[in-house]
Amino acid sequence: MARPDKAAAVAEIADKFRASNAAVLTEYRGLTVAQLKTLRRALGGNATYAVVKNTLTAIAAKEAGLTGLDDALAGPSAIAFVSGDPVEAAKGLRDFAKANPALVIKGGVLDGRTLTAAEVTKLADLESREVLLAKAAGAMKAKLYQAAYVFTANTAQAARVIDALRQKQESEGAAA
């Protein structure tokens, strides 16, 4: 590549690093073009998957303020730049890697923090954002219901005791 082309490629990769929520580095050695096309479709609009040159990616990562990616940038590398939910993209890559063992997850970046391959797998094991929000809302609703029950329990119990005393007095008055 000529020097202007390299500078343009570095700037493009750096912009993708800055614009994305997360990035997952993979090794694609042994995958066919059709399998890569299937992977790109599986990631959908949530992420873009691009084959990159390691030296240019290392320079772009430094320009974007990311450190710690040098170890993962060995061998043929491709990066999934995640613009949506990082959990969904990590799940897509993990599931594809299970079906196609040639795809190896090498690491990644999430909100400027470097991730190992094991951490990317842990991220993939998380439930989606919507499920986690629904669980949190359900837990809050349950706590509010419990609080309302505690506040109304004393008055309801007092009303039942008073009603029981009234019925007892009526039954004693009718018997006398």
Q: Are 24 and 82 within 8 A, CB to CB?
A: yes
108 CB contacts (<8 Å, ≥6 apart)?
Answer: 22, 23, 24, 25, 90, 114, 115, 119, 120
Q: What is the pTM of this model?
A: 0.67
**Separation in Å, CA 12 to CA 15, 66, 130:** 5, 15, 32
List, for residues 121-174, the tens digit of each pLDDT value: 888 777 777 787 888 888 888 877 777 777 777 787 878 888 888 888 888 877
